[in-house]
A and B are shown apart, each in its own frame.
Chain A
Amino acid sequence: MTEKLTAKDFTTAQEVRWCPGCGDYAILKSVTNALADVGASRENTAFVSGIGCAARFPYYVETYGFHTIHGRAPAVATGLKLANPELDVWVVTGDGDGLSIGGNHLMHALRRNVGLKILLFNNEIYGLTKGQYSPTSRVGTTSPSSPRGSFDAPLSPGQFALGAGGKFFARGVDTDKTGMSDVLRQAHAFQGTSLVEIFQNCIVYNENVFADFTDRKNAANSQLHLKHGEAMLFGENNGKGIHLNRDTLQLEVVDAEKSPDEVLIHDEGNATIARLLIDLHLPVALGVIYRQPATSYEDAFYAHHPSRMQRTKSIGDFIRGPSSWVVD
C-alpha cells in the first residue's frame, strides 16, 4: 500500500477555466478532498462527464477522465463500470445535461442501480450556452430564450430519482464544505447509483437563485441537515423540528423544545418520508435523504454471465453449431 494521497495529489496541472467565483471551484475542492479522505486510488478512479460547464470537471482531477457527449455520460459510465467493476466511476453532470438531453440515461442508470457516483450540479440554468432556462428553472425565469419568463413546470431531481427507482439520493450546497464532505463520502460508499444533487451557484446567469436557504446568515433556520437515526432538528440551538401531520400527510415545523416527541427521526430507508423531505422548502433538506441498499447492476450482470466474463470455452467449441456434416 502506498502512502495516503492528499487532495493535491488529485489535482491536475490544467488551468481551471470556470468563471471566477463559480460554485464549481468549491465543489472541485470538496471532491478532491473527499477522494483523499476515502483513500481513493488514482488509477482505479475515473470521472466521466457529458457537456456543460460542470462537464469540464474530469480535466481537473488527477485520475482517469473522459469528457463525452451531451447527456450520455451515464451510458458511457455504465459500459465502463461493466468493463471493470473494480473502478470507482464518478459521473459529473448538470441539470441540462442530466435531466434534459440525458434524462433517459439518468433514469435507466438509477433504476438499474449501476455502481456510479453521479454528481448533479444543479444551477437551474444552461450556463455554457449562455443562460437559457433549464428543466429545473422555476416558472417565470427570465432568460434569453424566455424573455417574458419561462412557463415550463420544473423537474425535481429528487422526485425524479426516487420515481426512477433510485436507491440513494443526497443533497449538498456547493460552498458547504462540511456537508459536502459527508455527502460525498457516503455517496462513495454506496453500492449502486448514488445521485447527489449539488446546489451550485451560477454567478453569471442565475446568481443567488438558492440564496434563500444557502445564505450563511440564515442557514440555521433554512437548512435541515439530515442524519440517519437522529431527530430532524434545525434552527438556532436546534430549537425547531420536523413533524409529520398524520391527517394531512404533510411535514410541518414544530417547536422542538415544547414537543420533542413529535419530531421525526430520520430513517433513510423510508421512501415516503424521503419524498416529503425532497419537497420541503425552508428548511431545505440536505444530506442523505434516501438510501436503500440493493444489488448493484454490475453484480447482477456478472452473476448472470456464468463465467463472469472469463473465456472458459474456445470458438472451436461453438463453431459447429447444432449439427454439421462432412463432404469428402
Chain B
Amino acid sequence: MTALLSIALNSWLHTRSGNSRFLKSPIIVNKNKDVDSIVVRIAGDSGDGIQLLGSQFAVSTALSGSDFATFPDYPAEIRAPVGTTFGVSAYQINLGGGPITTAGDAPDVLIAFNPAALKVSLPLLEKGALVILNNDSFTPRNLAKAGYDSDPRKDDTLADYQVVAADISRLNLEAVKQFGLSKSEGGRCKNFYALGVLMWMFDRDLASSETWLNRRLGEQPTLRDANTAALRAGHAYGETAELAATLPQIHLPETKLEPGEYRGITGAEALALGVAAAGELADKPILFCSYPITPASPLLHRLARLSEMGVGTFQAEDEIAAICAAIGASYGGMIGVTSSSGPGIALKTEAMGLAVSAELPLLIVNWQRGGPSTGLPTKTEQSDLYQAVYGRNADTPLPVIAAATSGDCFEMAIEAVRIALRHMTPVILLVDGYLSNATEPWKIPDVSALPAIEHNALPPSDDSPQRRAFARDSESLGRPWVYPGMPGLMHRIGGLEKDIDTGHISYDPANHQAMTDLRSAKVASVANFIPEQKMELGADSGKLVVVGWGSTYGPIYQAARATGASFMHLRYLNPLPKNLGALLSRFDTILVPEMNTGQLSTLLRDKLGVSPVSFPKVSGQPFHISELVEKIAAVSKEQAS
C-alpha cells in the first residue's frame, strides 16, 4: 500500500469508523457493540417478496432515526425459474449515523433465502460477515439449481463467515399454521418472518410494519393476521435463548441530520411529486404520456395516483405515440411530459426534433439503464449522456439536466419544467435507473417557498397572429405559448423550417442559417438563468478535483470526504454552468468517475477544452466508495511523482 493511500484510508477510517470494508470484524465479533453504520443485504427468489421486506425495513430504519440509503437489485425476469441464480432478487441497505449517501460497498449482514441467493451474494461479502441462511431451502435440488456441487454449509465455502442457519421456512409455517392457509400461501409469509428477525437484530419496534399490514391487507384479515404472526414470530425467534448467543443485536447511533421533517423517498416518488409541483407552480395541468419500460414505469404508476394535482396519465401504444401525445398536450396548453429509458428515448428522438422546431415546452425523463440494445434493463448506467446531448438528426440542441439523488429528482423535475416554459423548448432530465427504486431519507421542502413558474405572456400587438406566435423574448428566446382555443390567434406551426418572424414555411438559405443560430443561442441562453457551479466538498482550487454527475453523487461524496479531495457535481449538462471552465482551470487534474465509458469526460473536453482523467465503470452496479478512494489515491500519487 502506498503511503498516500494509507493516509487517505486512515483519514477515511477516522471519519467512517463503522465502514464495512475496513472494520468488518469489530461489528460481528464484538456482539452488541454499537457501530456507526452497517450494510445489510437480503437476497432470495424474485417471488420471495424481498423488495417488500427491504422497503419495510427501510421505513422502520427511518422511523428509528438512522440515516440510510438503499439499493434494490432485482432481475429482469418477473418470476425467473425458482431457485436459479438469475432469478435472485436482492435489497441492500446501508444504515447508521449520517451522512450516508450510498447503499454501502460490502454487506456486513446477508440474509440468503436459498442457495442461489447465497451463491450470487457471497462474492460481495468481506470475510467475517454474518450470513443468515434459510436452512430449509438447502435441499439437493436447490443446491443443484444454484450450481453447488456440495452443500456450502458443510464444506469450507463459509469458513470465513459467521453463519446462522435457521429453519426460516419451517418456523414460519408453524407460526402461520393456525390461519388455515395453503402451504404456498403460508410460505409466502416468510419474508415477514425474516423481517421480524431483522427488526429484533436492530432493536426495532414492529409497529410500523404492523400498521402497514393492517392498511394493506385490511380487506383480507386472514392474510394480514398470518403475516403479522410471522413478523412477531421472527422477532421472538431473535429473542430466544438459543439465538441470542449467535445473533448479535445491533444498536446504531441516531443520525445527525439537519433539523426538520423527513420522509423516505425513492427517485420515482420524488420525480412524480416534482412534476406535480411544477404543474401547480406553473398553474397548468400536466399530461404525462408514457409507454411501460423498465426502470421508468414507477413514475407512471406514481403519477397515475396524483390526479387531484391536475395530473393526467395517458398510457400510449408505443414510445413514439407517448412523446407525440405529450407534444400534442403542450401544443394544447397543458404541460406535456414523457418518460422512458434509453431504448425508448431513442425511439422518441425524431419527435424531440419536432418539439425543438415547433418551439414547444416538453419534459423528457430518461431513466438510464445498461445497454446497448435491450442491455441490462434492471441495472443502472449513465451511458445516455451522448444520446441526450448529441443524439438527434441535424442541429437540434436542447437543454439537458441530471438529478444527483433520489430526493434531488423533486427539485430537478421542477427545474426542467421551468426551463421548458421559459425557453419554450423540450428539456431532457437524466436520471439513473438506480434512483428509480433507491430510497433515502429526504428533508421535506417548504413548498410554499417555491417560486412560481412563469410562462411567456403574449405581449399586446397589432401584428398578425402568425407573427405574434413567434415574437420571442429577447433574453430567453422563448416564444409566447399560444394554443388552440385562444380567439384571434389562429396560426400554423410545424416541423418544416419556419420563417424566423412569421413561422411560415421558408426554404430561404439565410433564414435557415438564422433559425439554426437561434436554436443554438436559445439553448446557450439557459446558462444565463441557472446557478453557477459550486464546490460540493473541498477547496475550489488545487491539485485534484473529482467531477461527477447523476447518481454517482453518493459514492463520490464519501470518497472525496474520506480523502479530502475537492468535489463538484454537475446538475446542468447542456449548457454547462458559465463558470465551470474557469473553476476547472484552477485544478491540475480533473478526475471524472462515471458509469459509462467516459461520456462526461468527452463532453467536458468538447465544450471546455479540458483533458480530464476518466474513471469509467460499466458493471451495471454503482461505484464502491473503496474503488473511488483507491483511484483518487492513485491519481494523486501519479501527480506527486
Contacts and interface: CB of A to CB of B under 8 A. Distances in A.
Contacts of B262: 324-327
Contacts of B317: 75, 104-105, 107-108
Contacts of B4: none
A: interface residue count bin: 35 or more
B273 A318 contact: yes
Contacts of B261: 320, 324-327
B63 interface: yes
A242 B139 CA distance: 74
B491 interface: yes
Of the listed residues B306, B324, B494, the one surrounded by the most CB atoms of chain A closer than 10 A to its CB is: B324
Given A46-B484, A105-B321, A310 B336 contact: no
A76 B260 contact: no
A69 interface: yes
A107 B273 CA distance: 33
A44 interface: yes
B354 interface: yes
Contacts of B318: 104
Contact of B309 (A76, A311, A323): A311
Interface string B590-610: 000000000000000000000
A311 B308 contact: yes
B331 A66 contact: yes
Contact of A64 (B259, B491, B504): B491
Contacts of A104: 317-318, 321
A176 interface: no
Contacts of A105: 317, 320-321, 324
B485 A84 contact: yes
Interface stretch (B152-160, B173-181, B274-282): B274-282
Contact of A63 (B325, B329, B490, B495): B490
Interface stretch (B112-120, B444-452, B454-462, B530-538): B444-452
Interface stretch (A140-148, A183-191, A259-267, A299-307): A299-307
A126 interface: no
B509 interface: no
Given A69-B351, A301-B312, A76 B327 contact: yes
Interface stretch (B23-31, B263-271, B616-624): B263-271
A68 B495 contact: yes
Contacts of B265: 321
Interface in A281-328: 301, 305-307, 309-321, 323-328
B273 A86 contact: no
Contacts of A306: 307-308
Nearest to A84: B332
A68 B484 contact: no
Contacts of B260: 326-327
B372 interface: no
Interface string B292-307: 0000000000000011
B63 A305 contact: no
Contacts, number: 216
Of the listed residues B258, B279, B309, the one surrounded by the most CB atoms of chain A closer than 10 A to its CB is: B309
A69 B495 contact: yes
A325 to B, nearest CB: 6
B634 interface: no
A102 to B, nearest CB: 9
A79 interface: yes
A98 interface: no
B350 A318 contact: no
Given A323-B208, A328-B259, A75 B484 contact: no
A58 B494 contact: yes
Contacts of A317: 308
A171 interface: no
B258 A327 contact: yes
Nearest to A64: B484
Interface residues of B, number: 74
Given A72-B351, A83-B332, A327-B262, A315 B273 contact: yes
B285 interface: yes
Of the listed residues B309, B328, B496, the one surrounded by the most CB atoms of chain A closer than 10 A to its CB is: B328
A275 interface: no
Of the listed residues A65, A86, A318, the one surrounded by the most CB atoms of chain B closer than 10 A to its CB is: A318
A115 to B, nearest CB: 13
B564 interface: no
Interface string A22-53: 00000000000000000000111110100000
B505 A321 contact: no
A53 B287 CA distance: 31
A209 to B, nearest CB: 28
B348 to A, nearest CB: 11
A307 to B, nearest CB: 5
Of the listed residues A82, A313, A320, the one surrounded by the most CB atoms of chain B closer than 10 A to its CB is: A82
A80 interface: yes
Contacts of B326: 79
B314 A79 contact: yes
Contacts of B78: none
Contacts of B324: 68-69, 72, 75-76, 79, 105
B320 A82 contact: no
A36 B514 CA distance: 39
Contacts of B350: 69
A309 B263 CA distance: 27
Contacts of A80: 328-329, 331-332, 484
A307 B276 CA distance: 14
Interface string B377-410: 0000000000000000000000000000000000
A78 B316 CA distance: 10
A42 B353 CA distance: 28
B493 to A, nearest CB: 6
Contact of A67 (B306, B484, B496): B496
Nearest to B489: A43
A207 B91 CA distance: 66
A84 B333 contact: yes
Contacts of B280: 311, 314-315
Contacts of A108: 316-317, 321
B59 A79 contact: no
Contact of A313 (B287, B309, B332): B309
B65 interface: yes
A66 B359 CA distance: 12
A245 to B, nearest CB: 39
Nearest to A328: B259
B495 A72 contact: no
B332 to A, nearest CB: 3
Nearest to B67: A327
A313 B287 CA distance: 17
A82 B448 contact: no
Contacts of B208: 323
A321 B306 CA distance: 12
Given A83-B334, A315-B277, A72 B320 contact: yes
Contacts of B62: 323, 325
The 7 closest A-B CB pairs, nearest first, are: A79-B328, A67-B494, A83-B332, A79-B325, A75-B324, A311-B310, A64-B484
Given A75-B320, A82-B332, 14 more contacts: A64-B483, A65-B490, A66-B331, A75-B317, A76-B328, A79-B324, A79-B327, A80-B328, A80-B329, A82-B314, A83-B334, A87-B332, A104-B321, A316-B448
28 contacts: A58-B494, A59-B492, A66-B331, A67-B494, A68-B354, A75-B320, A79-B314, A79-B324, A79-B326, A79-B332, A80-B332, A81-B328, A82-B314, A83-B333, A87-B332, A301-B312, A309-B285, A312-B308, A315-B280, A316-B448, A317-B308, A319-B447, A320-B261, A321-B265, A323-B264, A325-B262, A326-B261, A327-B65
Interface of A: 12, 14, 42-46, 48, 58-59, 62-69, 72, 75-84, 86-87, 104-105, 107-108, 301, 305-307, 309-321, 323-328
Interface of B: 59, 62-63, 65, 208, 255, 257-265, 269, 273, 276-277, 279-280, 285, 287, 289, 306-310, 312, 314, 316-318, 320-322, 324-334, 336, 350-351, 353-354, 358, 444-445, 447-448, 483-496, 504-505
